């Protein structure tokens, strides 16, 4: 590919589409945020930005790392289409088809967490790991899992946010924010759940009791991941993990819950925050497109 070729990608989140262009070496050279409104408005604004910022013919590959549920089976007729009803108005929207038509090139689509996981494995906190999990703890909770040379859960994707948890002893009366489950990870430990109990996470003092409850639930999630598929690294990202004291509480809770059962690397090495921070999803989206083209 020529030195002037560009590689595009979108980290398609529930509230913001982060759009980016990278050069042939993978360096981000231009980024743009589109607020999510209606599907039509959002997709048109994002496609318009790429059309105005990538010279004609210079855009060589394109990837989308999206919120879900979404069809990620490249053999499916509805590949790249949002499925289910998690976000009102978006069910049935074909992200891949829209951008392939608008930009005139093939488009690769995967989940936001698989995108972030790929970026972390190539450039970030899971560099040199042969297996890893990326869990996003934001408005919702989801996980991407990689082992044996590929993403797990194909031809679909995991829905790790909805695994069942044991209630924390002082959290028995809290009403889960998940409309489907009274006991799931997303219903009890997402940013929405923290907000429903107390306040916006960024406004909560470090000694607020809700942090120990959140740490207990996220440690249960890490325990389930470790005991079911033994990833070399578990990366916890998303808005809730921006609280700097949370990760060490999770390590402590994880060690207590494991009860010394397994020999494993110290929990502070096993369970980490993202190496690429907020950019993991966007860099991952661009890498998804580049990998597919190879």
9 sits in which H/E element: strand 6-12
Residues 6+ apart with CB under 8 A from 178: 162, 184, 186, 187
Q: Which residues pair with 179 in a beta bridge?
A: none
Residue with Cβ nearer Zn ion (19 or 165): 165
Give yes or no for a contact between 19 and 32, defined as CB atoms under 8 angstroms apart.
yes
Closest CB 164 distance from Zn ion, rounded Å: 9
| C-alpha span between 190 and 139 (Å, rounded) | 6
Closest CB 187 distance from Zn ion, rounded Å: 5
Closest CB 1 distance from Zn ion, rounded Å: 43
Residue with Cβ nearer Zn ion (70 or 184): 184
DSSP 74-123: TTSTTTTBB-SSSSTTTTT-BHHHHHHHHHTS--EEEEHHHHHHHHHHHH
| C-alpha span between 60 and 167 (Å, rounded) | 49
Closest CB 51 distance from Zn ion, rounded Å: 38
Give yes or no for a contact between 189 and 195, defined as CB atoms under 8 angstroms apart.
no
Closest CB 91 distance from Zn ion, rounded Å: 17
Question: Alpha-carbon torsion 256, 257, 260, 265, what sign?
Answer: negative
Residue with Cβ nearer Zn ion (13 or 187): 187
Residue with Cβ nearer Zn ion (184 or 280): 184
Closest CB 2 distance from Zn ion, rounded Å: 47
Give yes or no for a contact between 190 and 140, defined as CB atoms under 8 angstroms apart.
yes
Give yes or no for a contact between 142 and 111, defined as CB atoms under 8 angstroms apart.
yes
Closest CB 230 distance from Zn ion, rounded Å: 25
Residue with Cβ nearer Zn ion (86 or 103): 86
Residue with Cβ nearer Zn ion (184 or 240): 184
At how many degrees (to 10) do helices 39-53 and 95-103 cross? 30
Contact residues for Zn ion (CB under 5 A)? 162, 178, 180-181, 184, 187
Residue with Cβ nearer Zn ion (177 or 225): 177
Closest CB 181 distance from Zn ion, rounded Å: 3
Residue with Cβ nearer Zn ion (32 or 181): 181
| C-alpha span between 49 and 223 (Å, rounded) | 42
């Amino acid at each position: 590919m020529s030195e002037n070729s560009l590689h595009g990608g979108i980290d398609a989140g529930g509230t913001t589409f982060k759009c980016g262009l990278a050069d042939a070496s993978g360096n981000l050279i231009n980024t743009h945020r589109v607020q999510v409104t209606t599907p039509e408005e959002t997709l048109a604004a994002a496609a318009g930005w790429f059309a105005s910022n990538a010279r004609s013919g210079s855009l060589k590959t394109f990837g989308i790392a999206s919120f879900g549920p979404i069809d990620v089976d490249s053999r499916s007729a509805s590949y790249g289409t949002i499925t289910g009803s998690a976000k009102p108005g978006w069910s049935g929207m074909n992200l891949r088809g829209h951008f392939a038509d608008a930009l005139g090139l093939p488009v690769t689509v995967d989940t936001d967490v698989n995108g972030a996981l790929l970026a972390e494995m190539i450039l970030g906190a899971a560099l040199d790991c042969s297996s890893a999990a990326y869990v996003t703890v934001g408005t919702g909770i989801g996980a991407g899992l990689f082992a044996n040379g590929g993403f797990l859960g194909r031809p679909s994707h995991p829905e790790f946010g909805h695994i069942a948890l044991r209630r924390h002893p002082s959290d028995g009366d809290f009403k889960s924010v998940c409309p489907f489950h009274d006991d799931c990870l997303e219903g009890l430990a997402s940013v929405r759940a923290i907000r429903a109990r107390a306040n916006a996470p960024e406004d909560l003092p470090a000694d607020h009791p809700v942090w120990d409850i959140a740490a207990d639930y996220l440690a249960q999630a890490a325990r389930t991941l470790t005991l079911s598929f033994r990833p070399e690294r578990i990366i916890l990202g998303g808005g809730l993990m921006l609280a700097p004291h949370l990760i060490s509480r999770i390590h402590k809770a994880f060690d207590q819950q494991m009860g010394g059962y397994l020999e494993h690397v110290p929990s502070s090495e096993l369970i980490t925050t993202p190496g690429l921070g907020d950019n993991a999803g966007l860099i991952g989206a661009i890498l998804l497109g580049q990998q597919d083209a190879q």
